[in-house]
Chains A and B, each alone.
Chain A
Amino acid sequence: ETGVTQSPTHLIKTRGQQVTLRCSSQSGHNTVSWYQQALGQGPQFIFQYYREEENGRGNFPPRFSGLQFPNYSSELNVNALELDDSALYLCASSLAGGGGETQYFGPGTRLLVL
């Protein structure tokens, strides 16, 4: 059984650019959630996908968007990058999406916006 993987591990972009982060869910999981964790803070929920449909969204602007594919891998896209977007981006996968289940986190992608 493979765990949750994310790519790339680190990324440097400049303000105004666009970025795509990728996540491969744990085998058999049909739900993926994305989080943003700024330095010294707890993770903040961005959105969740369940069977390729958005299943909940946190307080993030529309320039944060996502996709979940039939094989349950996922992408997080951020347009018009701002300096405050610099953070560790985490994805987590789980089974069922019904709430209350354990989420399995990837190691994260550290994004730096200059």
Chain B
Amino acid sequence: KQEVTQIPAALSVPEGENLVLNCSFTDSAIYNLQWFRQDPGKGLTSLLLIQSSQREQTSGRLNASLDKSSGRSTLYIAASQPGDSATYLCAVDASGGSYIPTFGRGTSLIVHP
């Protein structure tokens, strides 16, 4: 059974810092990994989707890497801003043919001015 762990569970940093959020998964036979952002009480917004054949994806100040063999992914946030405050979730899909993700519990990020 796939298990996804995210470390740290919570993070509070001053504005401007570069951040690394970690995600690990137990079964490396995945098809893709996706990072999401969730604001309190709201739905999820997809940030980056990495296919199993890819090593990384970048969007603006965000960079996500994937090391499938070691079961790890990192989300790097450059020059953090207060608007980045949210919960960040990673999800892995091992289903193939459908999209049936297993989510981690998330990292709750607060960026203070």
Same complex origin of A and B: yes
Q: Which residues of A contact B (CB under 8 A)?
A: 4, 31, 33, 40-45, 48, 50, 55-56, 58, 88, 90, 92, 94, 97-108, 110
Q: Flag the segment in B63-71, B72-80, B90-98 that touches A.
A: B90-98
- Whole-angstrom distance between the Cβ of B94 and the nearest chain A Cβ: 10
Does B81 count as interface, using CB distance less than 8 angstroms? no
Are B46 and A102 within 8 A (Cβ)?
yes
**Within the assembled complex, what's the spacing in Å between the Cα atoms of A97 and B51?**
15
Are B32 and A100 within 8 A (Cβ)?
yes
**Within the assembled complex, what's the spacing in Å between the Cα atoms of A98 and B96?**
8
Are B103 and A43 within 8 A (Cβ)?
yes
Q: Which residues of B contact A102 (CB under 8 A)?
A: 34, 46, 49
Among A44, A99, A105, which residue has its beta carbon within 8 angstroms of that of B32?
Answer: A99
- Whole-angstrom distance between the Cβ of B16 and the nearest chain A Cβ: 29
Q: Residue on A with the closest CB to B98?
A: A56
Does B44 count as interface, using CB distance less than 8 angstroms? yes
